[in-house]
Structure formats: structure tokens, C-alpha cells
Amino acid sequence: KLNEFTVKNRYPLPLISDIISQLRGAKWFTKMDVRWGYNNVRIKKGDEWKAGFATNRGLFEPMVMFFGLTNSPATFQALMNAIFADLIAEGKVAVYL
């Protein structure tokens, strides 16, 4: 139900066709472990309760972002673009989830 009430992050994800065009002629292709990356993005302090979930062992409030949250993909894309901004600008790196 949380995703229904969440304000959606409208950070634009790149078009796959644009990424393919950008990588034409590239010598190396790689894929980073996105699941590992997601699990290392800290949820804003004080907002952990918003992603809380209940199990038969109690209520848990995650400290890091995980798959399934509405804004996880856009947040992660924005973070990767910020980290690799210089390399993206030089055309050496393309980021796509």
C-alpha cells in the first residue's frame, strides 16, 4: 500500500536505444551488480518507518533501499549518474538499470 501513497520521483531513465547508440564501437561492456548497489543506498534518516514491514518475527524498518520501493530505480539511476558524471560526459560510461 505504501507505493500507492508515495510521491513518485520523476528522474528520467535513459532510452535503451540511446544507450546502444552511445556504446557503438565500445571495446568493453560490463554489468555491475545492481542488487548489491541498491542494498548500499541508505534510506534518509528518519524515513525508515516509511518502508517498514511486518513479519511473524515482528516489525522491521530497513536502513537501506531495496527492490520494490516505488522510487528505488529512479533514486539509484540518479545516484549512479552523479557518481559517474565526468565519465558519462566524456562518453566513456553509460548507466542504465
Q: Are 72 and 65 in contact (CB under 8 A)?
A: yes
Q: What's the maximum distance between 2 C-alpha atoms anywhere in the chain?
A: 53
Q: Taking the domains of the chain in order of start, what are their residue ranges?
A: 32-97
Burial environment of residue 76 by CB neighbours within 10 A (0 to 12, 13 to 18, 19 or more):
buried
Q: Hey, what's the cell of 48?
A: 525508515
Q: What confidence tens digit (pLDDT) does each residue in 13-45 have?
A: 788 888 888 878 777 767 766 667 778 899 999
Could you tell me the pLDDT band of residue 86, with boundaries at 50, 70 and 90? very high
Kindly report the pTM of this predicted structure: 0.70
Q: What confidence tens digit (pLDDT) does each residue in 38-74 have?
A: 788 999 999 999 899 999 999 999 999 887 888 888 8
Please, what is the end-to-end C-alpha distance for the chain in angstroms? 24
